[in-house]
């Protein structure tokens, strides 16, 4: 799709279509949807940030919230190399002496009134965040240096940034920190929630496998390990593949199932993770 803004044709991005379901932790969903509400003509939506360890489901929550609102969703992955123009409009050479201007997923969401998920936002530098400052306050616009145009956000535009709680990220500058509120913390799920997430992602897994992995994860959480349900999904999937490769079935009968699960934990997370198997 192409739209024209101030005489500049922009090629828009396509919305993301994922097959995900948010299971459990409805309080986090409630807070995110509430932050996006507009309750008065003079009110504005907030720009929340979702904070948690890698793999706890921050992007899944944001995507599922957008789907509940029946809106187009655009995911933009932030990295240490993300430039201001990457966030807005990128010029692409198209033929001899001709440029095509391509709108980022975030800018496309602004134009179409969709929901933008800026994934792992605290991997991005201050210079890139600075280009979004007017979007994140009551001005709600961005200015493209590449094209020289100012673009206002559609009234239905909503944004959320996910941020990993680890040491490989930048500290947000204060003027951005204050614009990304509220902070919604996503923690490890309770046991029944974790089992339900595994069941949702591994519907072909036997209860024995799902319970084994859930018990392992719960023991790891109690010891404040950083293993997440994403790790558990990978363990369960790899264990079933090992069983199927050996026996033509992923049924977890006899000691072969336990051996496959231990092997999957070892090869996914390393030797130290096996200490939580003994407690399971």
What is the pLDDT tens value at each position of the chain, 280 positions in all?
999 999 999 999 999 998 888 887 889 999 999 999 999 999 999 999 999 988 889 999 999 999 999 999 999 999 999 999 999 999 988 777 788 999 999 999 999 999 999 999 999 999 999 999 999 999 999 999 899 999 999 999 999 999 998 766 677 889 999 999 999 999 989 999 999 999 999 999 999 999 999 999 999 999 989 899 999 999 999 999 999 888 777 776 656 788 999 999 999 999 999 999 855 4
CATH of the domain at 143: 3.40.50.300
pLDDT for 280 equals: 45
Domain limits at 30? 2-185
Q: Which of 169, 185, 201 is the last residue of a domain?
A: 185
Asked if 77 contacts 213 with a C-beta cutoff of 8 angstroms, the reply is: no
Residues 92 and 215 in one domain: no
pTM check: above 0.85: yes
Tally of structural domains, the chain: 2
Q: Which pLDDT does position 269 carry in this prediction?
A: 96
Instruction: Count how many Cα atoms sit within 13 Å of the Cα of residue 83 in the half-sphere of its side chain.
Output: 8
Q: 232 and 128 in one domain?
A: no
- Comparing CA positions, the residue from 117, 14, 106 lying closest to residue 57 is 117
């Amino acid at each position: 799709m192409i739209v024209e803004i101030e005489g500049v044709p922009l090629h828009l991005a396509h919305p993301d279509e994922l097959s995900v379901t948010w299971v459990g932790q409805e309080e986090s969903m409630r807070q995110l949807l509430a932050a996006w509400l507009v309750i008065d003509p003079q009110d504005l939506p907030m720009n929340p940030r979702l904070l948690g360890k890698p793999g706890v489901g921050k992007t899944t929550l944001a995507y599922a919230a957008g789907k509940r609102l029946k809106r187009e969703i655009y995911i933009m992955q932030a990295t240490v190399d993300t430039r201001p123009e990457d966030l807005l409009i990128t010029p692409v050479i198209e033929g001899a002496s001709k440029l095509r201007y391509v709108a980022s997923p975030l800018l496309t969401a602004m134009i179409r009134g969709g929901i933008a998920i800026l994934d792992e936002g605290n991997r991005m530098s201050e210079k890139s965040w600075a280009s979004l400052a007017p979007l994140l306050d009551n001005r709600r616009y961005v200015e493209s240096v590449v094209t020289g145009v100012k673009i206002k956000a559609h009234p239905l535009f909503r944004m959320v940034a996910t941020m990993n709680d680890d040491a490989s990220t930048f500290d947000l500058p204060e003027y951005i920190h204050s614009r990304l509120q509220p902070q919604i913390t996503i923690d490890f799920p309770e046991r029944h929630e974790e089992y339900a997430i595994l069941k949702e992602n591994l519907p072909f897994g036997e209860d024995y496998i799902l319970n084994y992995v859930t018990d392992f994860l719960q023991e790891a959480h109690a010891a404040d390990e950083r293993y997440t349900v994403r790790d558990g999904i990978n363990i369960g999937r790899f264990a079933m593949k090992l069983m199927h490769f050996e026996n033509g079935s992923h049924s977890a009968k006899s000691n072969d199932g336990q051996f496959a699960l231990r092997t999957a934990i070892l090869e996914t997370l390393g030797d130290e993770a096996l200490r939580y198997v003994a407690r399971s």
